[in-house]
Structure 1
């Protein structure tokens, strides 16, 4: 194998850590690229380019460390990714990355650890579709002076994974005074193809609410990590595939799945009497909630396994004047309770690693349970709205 086009030679601890992270991100991204939405395909050429690049860099580092390198992509995927924990690879990582015992493939599917590292690598297809569509919707909503349109679109796609023909037509006609809305629906939902159906129907997961493609053996089991590890996962709901539309895979991954905990938190707060505005100012925050007693909070919800990777994704919270309709008294970064319970170092690593949190020490990291409990329940029902 030629090692002449591997990339720069790294020296020093910091450079070695960067080199390790590049390899891990490339390999993880390549595995997810092979997986798509239906599971890792049978090994065949051509491989995802990220996987080959990761293999090349890993091989170079193995040679440098005097270790045996993977013998091709099949060895990398079938042995290194499926059987060997990442901390046994000849790579260096920061302790806060918490790679000990982590594998990239579990049961032939990318692990949650793998999925999060893959997100940090560029996904060209998803960037072109999801990124471009989201930017277009935000731009048009701003030009029309209707910022709530973006929130309304995002809420809709989060709640609707599969639409029958009549439902899809109703969705396209839901905002008749904005002709672009129908185009947004067309670009958000693709036709249900044969490979995602079973017996003329498409399955919708009873846990996350997203469509699930059957595996090669005909089994239907959601690949979303939270669903995959649930012993009490509800049976899927089946929808007739004839004429149906399903949410585009990249929107499932980057909009609907992250949107689920945001919407869940909003509804739990509203049940205690809060008025919750979703995605104010074109997603400057996930939500702003006003308690029944008038206290207001600005919230971003982040459901990540790795605080080390999440720290790179946190943006500075916006500051708005007291006369702004979305002004808030305190800001909270909310992480699901089970993430904090499973990792006692989560908040410490997150606050240590995040430049945004260090710049705004008044922003508090709390669990979803704690935030909901802090909202006084006066026995009145609140509401979840999309603006203004």
Structure 2
């Protein structure tokens, strides 16, 4: 790391606004796990009280009016964009008009989770690492990469299961989940009551990402994945009766956020790369990185697919993956929509990234480069329509 990057990394954790946002985001995520954020009552949980105290102190130092209670701090998070908070922050660390809580549901936004993960003392709790590390270790011990991929694909394709489906999956002859079965009960939990339509006594899944939709205060349904909301009207998918199959189980939020949601994009991108003639392996080396892409007579790429709201927080995590399985170049890929919605995304990422040994490109750029590399040798006629279709038409939700 160059001296200026070392200094930048040290200063990051000394900026009052950074410490405050970490504290508030961690508290909001924790509160969302244990109850309704809008009905928090005294005594407040320790993390929440600490976040409120830090916010009040910061406001007093900056001579701004502080929130008088935790419910008022929650309202701040749901209605006041972070770039308008009375805090001192490094430049461009929060996207314009971004909220920590969704205004319609008071659930943590992706940005809130990103700030919670940035806090070193809470990163393990709010990320996927402690769960996927166990899966990876078990599969390595058994030398069974198929089981790792089967487990990960399950989380991507089925973030919602009935209790009966959950209990019968490990014994099913058509999958490789047998020795991972006990872990399913750790990562799938009874669906929270907040997702239940009480009048119909049912849950509704999103037709795009397949997680449960959350009822809003105005009678609509809301998807926690911003890319689904950005596509326009929420699309209703499968409806589950509350008592279907012994009850509904929902993948826990850290795995929905960091495995299931990006996994939808990873699998779609892998399919399109394969269609234009690349050799693609998803989650090689028991999840060392997103995908390994090999071109005929050209370099092997290690691809990390990252869909983050904050390019600054993403840049701080930008380090190359492990060298096994081997690769020639490392590329971090972000959805093209991130750059469309945040034109300075690449510039901010470059400003804060901790390593210069990787490249950043959009999924569109990667596909365009792949087509150039492959040339007239692919794709096959069967896949030509999908591979050559204008970006955004062949795969809804990818571009």
1:56 paired with 2:53, answer: yes
Q: Kindly indicate whether the alpha-carbon contact (under 8 Å) linking 2:206 and 2:237 is maintained by their aligned counterparts in 1.
A: yes
Give the C-alpha shift of residue 194 in structure 1.
Answer: 5.4
In the aligned structure 2, how far is the partner of 1:53 from the partner of 1:130? 25
Instruction: Tell me how many residue pairs correspond in the alignment.
Output: 360
1:199-250 Cα offsets, whole Å, 9 max, x none, are 3432211122112344566643223222334423322321344224332333
1:223 paired with 2:219, answer: no
TM-score by length of 2: 0.78
1:256-298 Cα offsets, whole Å, 9 max, x none, are 1232222221122122232221111122211002235665321
- State the match for 1:145 in structure 2: 143
1:334 paired with 2:329, answer: no
In the aligned structure 1, how far is the partner of 2:336 from the partner of 2:59? 39
Q: Kindly indicate whether the alpha-carbon contact (under 8 Å) linking 1:25 and 1:117 is maintained by their aligned counterparts in 2.
A: yes
1:303 paired with 2:333, answer: no
- State the match for 1:3 in structure 2: none
In the aligned structure 2, how far is the partner of 1:51 from the partner of 1:219? 29
DSSP 3-state at the match of 1:104: coil
Q: 2:30 aligned to 16, 33, 55, which one?
A: 33
What are the residue-to-residue correspondences of 1:52-91 with 2, within 5 Å?
A: 52-78=49-75, 80-91=76-87
TM-score by length of 1: 0.80
Moved more, 147-156 or 38-47: 38-47
DSSP 3-state at the match of 2:257: helix
What are the residue-to-residue correspondences of 1:167-186 with 2, within 5 Å?
A: 167-174=165-172, 179-186=178-185
DSSP 3-state at the match of 1:233: coil
In the aligned structure 2, how far is the partner of 1:125 from the partner of 1:103? 20
1:209 paired with 2:179, answer: no
Unaligned runs of 5+ in 1: 1-12, 321-325, 383-388
DSSP 3-state at the match of 1:59: helix
DSSP 3-state at the match of 2:327: coil
Moved more, 128-137 or 230-239: 128-137
Q: Kindly indicate whether the alpha-carbon contact (under 8 Å) linking 1:171 and 1:185 is maintained by their aligned counterparts in 2.
A: no
In the aligned structure 1, how far is the partner of 2:256 from the partner of 2:230? 19
In structure 2, relative to structure 1, the CA distance for the partners of 1:276 and 1:20 (3 Å cut) is: same
In structure 2, relative to structure 1, the CA distance for the partners of 1:304 and 1:203 (3 Å cut) is: same
Q: 2:283 aligned to 276, 279, 284, which one?
A: 279
DSSP 3-state at the match of 2:318: coil
1:17-72 Cα offsets, whole Å, 9 max, x none, are 62111111211222233334997443433445333212212222233333332222
RMSD over aligned Cα, in angstroms?
Answer: 3.3
- State the match for 1:289 in structure 2: 293
- State the match for 1:369 in structure 2: 364
In the aligned structure 1, how far is the partner of 2:241 from the partner of 2:195? 12
1:312 paired with 2:316, answer: yes
Q: Kindly indicate whether the alpha-carbon contact (under 8 Å) linking 1:148 and 1:282 is maintained by their aligned counterparts in 2.
A: no
What are the residue-to-residue correspondences of 1:115-154 with 2, within 5 Å?
A: 115-121=113-119, 127=125, 130-154=128-152
Q: 2:257 aligned to 233, 242, 253, which one?
A: 253
